[in-house]
């Protein structure tokens, strides 16, 4: 029997959160304010820190034709790649929760967003750290790499 394991960190109090992580989480909170989610009322913000410290953000954008909408993570990562070209992405912070809620349930990225983020991790050849939490901030989850969240993934090697 084979086993798949990975390690992650959980910060359960505000005092424990490293200041650089908290700063990016705050930028995701700020980005969340621009979410357009009239159908689900679930608002998500994402902030991507590039290798040079530049930050690119995104928020979920919904549409009356539901599948045409896009998650915050993909708005952020496609924007970052569009404007930064080959610059590497260091990490992404994601904050999500229903409108008006103080819920602390962590907003882990959906499967499609994991797949999209993995594409850039593989392209750049270095891990993108994934930080996610609810609107109550703690607990904050930190995973070292997108690939940890997507075992047995489909990638460019499948197309070779």
DSSP state letter for 88: P
Cβ-contact 117, 88 below 8 angstroms: no
Active-site residue, selected from the candidate residues 16, 49, 62, 73: 73
Query: Residue from 54, 110, 123, 126 that binds ligand THU (CB under 6 A)?
Result: 110
Q: Does 127 bind ligand THU (CB under 6 A)?
A: no
Which residue stretch of 26-34, 39-47, 121-129, 143-151 sits at the interface with ligand THU (rule: CB under 6 A)?
A: 39-47
Distance, CA of 140 to CA of 93 (rounded, Å) = 10
How many other CB atoms are found less than 10 A from the CB of residue 28? 29
Q: Which is nearer to ligand THU, 27 or 60 (CB)?
A: 60
Place of tokens 């967003």: 113
Which positions lie near ligand THU, rule CB under 6 A?
Answer: 37, 40, 42, 44, 60, 62, 69, 71-73, 109-110, 113
């Amino acid at each position: 029997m084979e086993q798949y394991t990975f390690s992650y960190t959980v910060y359960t109090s505000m005092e424990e959160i490293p200041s650089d992580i908290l700063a990016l989480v705050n930028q995701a909170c700020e980005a969340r304010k621009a979410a357009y989610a009239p159908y689900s009322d679930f608002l998500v913000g994402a902030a991507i820190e590039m290798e040079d410290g530049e930050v690119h953000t995104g928020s979920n954008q919904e549409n009356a034709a539901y599948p045409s909408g896009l998650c915050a993570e993909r708005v952020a990562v496609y924007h970052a790649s569009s404007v930064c070209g080959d610059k590497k992405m260091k990490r992404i912070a994601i904050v999500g929760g229903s409108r008006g809620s103080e819920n602390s349930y962590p907003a882990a990225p959906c499967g499609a967003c994991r797949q999209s983020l993995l594409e850039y991790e593989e392209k750049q050849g270095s891990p993108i750290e994934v930080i996610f939490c609810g609107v109550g901030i703690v607990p904050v989850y930190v995973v070292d790499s997108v690939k940890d969240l997507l075992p047995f993934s489909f990638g460019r090697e499948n197309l070779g």
